[in-house]
Chain A
Amino acid sequence: QQQVKQSPQSLIVQKGGIPIINCAYENTAFDYFPWYQQFPGKGPALLIAIRPDVSEKKEGRFTISFNKSAKQFSLHIMDSQPGDSATYFCAARWAGRRQLTFGSGTQLTVLP
């Protein structure tokens, strides 16, 4: 059972564009929603995270938008750069548990 659905699977944008990656969840017991960035051959690294009592969080060029009623959250990358080309994973944590459930990933390519 896929508890966190991520789309699109791949995304190509021009430099300076604003790629948007979306995730949807069904379990209302999730209480923490991080995004991870993974470069080829490397382990994922935490990029930004949000809790459901906040509708938006911004860190540098990265913004999470959270819609609790729709059970959706998304990652926006402002002024995208070729160095942002990577695979992005959304995730969710079940309240009271330690492990994360990950989306299937989005491979982002930013063209120069």
Chain B
Amino acid sequence: SQTIHQWPATLVQPVGSPLSLECTVEGTSNPNLYWYRQAAGRGLQLLFYSVGIGQISSEVPQNLSASRPQDRQFILSSKKLLLSDSGFYLCAWSVLGRQTYSGNTIYFGEGSWLTVV
């Protein structure tokens, strides 16, 4: 079965410090990978998605970046955090290329709470 791991689970970082959140997927190959952000009491905002190694699409301009160094690894980074970067960050995956009904499903990790102070 497929599993998704995301870490760290919680993070408190000062303004201006760097960020690295990591996500790995097991049990599948060539997944689509996503980073979403959920601000407190708000919906899910897509930040980045990737269809393959080194292929990153950005949905929202910001001081965050994403990288996919390996097939099942997705990293969210920032060189200098802002207070507005605080939130709940979710990594997710779906089956690549599948247009069937079940292939549309996006599976989320447990999330990472980031507080910028």
Name A residues whose Cβ lies closer than 8 Å to a Cβ of B.
Answer: 6, 32, 34, 36, 41-46, 49, 51, 89, 93, 98-105, 107
Contact = CB atoms under 8 A, between A and B. Distances in A.
Given A41-B113, A89-B44, A105-B43, 6 more contacts: A36-B108, A93-B104, A98-B49, A98-B94, A100-B106, A104-B42
A102 B44 contact: yes
A87 to B, nearest CB: 9
Contacts of A107: 41
Interface residues of B, number: 24
Contacts of A41: 111, 113
Main secondary structure of the interface of B (DSSP, over half): strand
Contact of B108 (A45, A51, A93, A101): A45
A49 B105 contact: yes
A32 B105 CA distance: 10
Contact of B43 (A34, A43, A93, A104): A104
B34 to A, nearest CB: 6
Q: Which 5 residue pairs spanning A and B have beta carbons closest together? A: A43-B108, A104-B43, A102-B44, A32-B104, A43-B111
B90 interface: yes
A103 B43 CA distance: 6
